[in-house]
Structure 1
Amino acid sequence: MAITNILANMSCTDLARSAEWYRTFFERDADQNPMDGLLEWHYGAAGFQLYQGPDNAGHCTVTLVVDDVHAERERLTDFAPGEIQQANYVTVFQLRDPDGNLVVLAQPGHV
């Protein structure tokens, strides 16, 4: 198997509402709309898909690795992020999208 890309997928109940939330979160519009009900944001060899799938909405988790978890938490204050926590090898905080899906931001190391 030769994997060339990985796309994390988050399901939502209302694509327009969630697209606006993620547009603000990512600070840019989606890169692609490959089919009805699906938007994609690309980051090098990885990406994020937002899919209108009400049956799975609220049951998804995505972890995004960032350079500065403290700066991202400050930027996302309006999203009501959780407190910064130290895990074994990373520093993290969590927040929820409009459907209650869990979004985790992580920075390697203890910062």
Structure 2
Amino acid sequence: MEFSRVLAQAAVTDVEVAERWYTALFDGPPTTRPMGGLLEWHLTPTAGVQVWCDAERAGRSCVVLGVAGAGVVDALATRLAAAGTAHGGVEPGGGARLLRLTDPDGNLVVVTGP
């Protein structure tokens, strides 16, 4: 079996609130809206993030995103702070730099890079 695509998913209670938060994170609107209550950001041709309205699972997701290039995590932290997205700042972790974010439902989003 060969897998060819991955979509991480965050379950949320209010897709409109989540859309605003994830639009700020990804610096743009969803790539597609496959069906009601589902938003997708296609980050590469084979990877992306889904935001799915599922109140029973909301707040228990974790999405880890890797970025390339020195300073990208720091630049993201600066941009998000300027846009009003609270976070604890960039920290070292596992030989990389991490930015831990929490969406409005409490889902953990970790951005990691050099």
- TM-score, shorter chain, exceeding 0.5: yes
CA RMSD of aligned residues (A): 1.1
% identical equivalent positions: 37
Name the counterpart of 2:74.
Answer: 70
Q: Which amino acid aligns with 1:6?
A: V
Q: TM-score, normalised by structure 1?
A: 0.91
Separation of aligned partners in 2, 1:50 and 1:95:
15
Point out where structure 2 has 5 or more consecutive residues left out of the alignment: none
Alignment of 1:82 onto 2:80: no
1:9-48 alignment, distance < 5 Å: 9-44=9-44, 45-48=46-49
Per-residue deviation, residues 51-94 of structure 1 (Å, max 9, x unmatched): 00011111111111123111111111121111321112211021
Deviation sequence 1:5-53 (CA, Å, 0-9, x none): 0000000000111111111221111111111111101022101000000
SS of the equivalent of 1:76 reads helix
Is the partner of 2:58 in helix, strand or coil?
coil
Structure 2 counterpart of 1:71, which letter?
A
Instruction: Give 5+ residue unaligned stretches, structure 1.
Output: none
Hey, what does 2:108 align to over in structure 1?
Answer: 102
Distance 2:21 2:99 in 1: 18
Instruction: Give the alignment's TM-score, normalised by structure 2.
Output: 0.89
Count of equivalent residues: 108
What letter matches 2:40 in structure 1?
E
Task: Write the distance in 2 (CA, Å) between the matches of 1:2 and 1:39.
Answer: 25
